[in-house]
Structure 1
Amino acid sequence: MFDLRFPTTLIMMMLIADAAESGRPTVSSTELASKLDNNPSFVRALVVPLVHDGLVTSVRGRTGGLGLGRPASEITLSEIYRSAVAGKRIWDQRDEVPHVCEVTTKACRYFRGLTDEIEDVVLAMLGSKTLADSLADLRKLPPEAA
């Protein structure tokens, strides 16, 4: 099963950035949850590491909400990814298999190295894009056909 925390968190961050560009410094977790077709407690759970990492600010109270911790042009997708997945690797490692031949003895170690290389490439690509870049790219997409 794929982990959906990063894509969901990225959408949420784009919604907060879009609101900031429109002059709204904060967005409520209820509004975000509605737009994500989820519940506010789920949104708040996704926000905890983002606040901890300084990517999002959280203001409590009736007029509070969630805002960007820094300008969207200074937040990279790799920062969002790392915060969202909290150290989880792109692919889970398979538990050790019985060491009955060269392949089974070395396969897990090989896959771990392969995954490390893939993670490095993914993080480098995500590090080259900012939240502002992503929002601009999103706006260039043509509307979907009905």
Structure 2
Amino acid sequence: MHLTRYSDYAMRVLLYLGARPERQCSIAEVAKAYGISQSHLMKVVSDLVQAGYVASVRGRTGGIRLGMPPERIVIGELVRRTEGSLALVDCANCLLAPGCGLACVLGEAMGAFLAVLDRHTLADVIARRPEALSRLVGEPFR
């Protein structure tokens, strides 16, 4: 299983904002912290705002912050939203599909993968390595 860059960036944005709950951040700040394209992050952040994961305030003093407590952001739900298709293989045009058992096995594997992600929230992920987040944001993480 390989997650897309889109999902990776979405998780990075949420981790960054989760490490700075006391203030709004800019997309430029997040992009600079990770060394990634600001234009790529703008689309990701827009979708995260639409889903309610991120709150956005426009204007000179605006910025972005988490739109809900990190305890409510379930990693499995985020991955389902940010990944287009979670099918491991495309069986639609395969001649063996009607009699093949591989699709069932791969579906079971994907279900197990998502079940693990469903057991973890953003708060869980942040709590695992707070020192890494402190280095990322340049100040002690609370």
> Normalized against structure 2, the TM-score is what?
0.78
Taking structure 1 as reference, are residues 56 and 111 closer, same or farther at Cα in structure 2, changes over 3 Å only? farther
Structure 2 residue corresponding to 1:38, chosen from 36, 39, 48: 36
Higher relative contact order (CA 8 A, sep 6+): 2
Which one of the candidate residues 116, 119, 125 is aligned to 2:116?
125
Q: Find the counterpart in structure 2 of residue 93 from structure 1.
A: 90
Among 25, 49, 60, the residue aligned to 2:58: 60
1:90, distance to aligned residue in structure 2 (A) = 5.2
> Residue 11 of structure 1 corresponds to which residue in structure 2?
12
2:47 is matched with which residue?
49
Per the alignment, do residues 116 and 140 of structure 1 end up closer, same or farther by CA in structure 2, a change over 3 Å counting? Answer: farther
Which stretches of structure 1, 4 residues or longer, exceed 4 Å deviation after superposition? Answer: none
Give the SS at the match of 2:126. helix
Q: Tell me the equivalent position of 1:74.
A: 72
Larger Rg: 1
Gaps in structure 1 of 5+ consecutive residues: 142-146
1:89–1:105 Cα change, 3 Å: same
Alignment RMSD (CA, Å): 2.3
* Shift, 1:111, TM fit: 3.5
Normalised by the length of structure 1, the TM-score is: 0.76
1:139 equivalent among 114, 125, 130: 130
Tell me the alpha carbon deviations over residues 5-48 of structure 1, each in whole angstroms, 9 at most, x when there is no partner: 2222212210010011xx21x21100111122122221111122
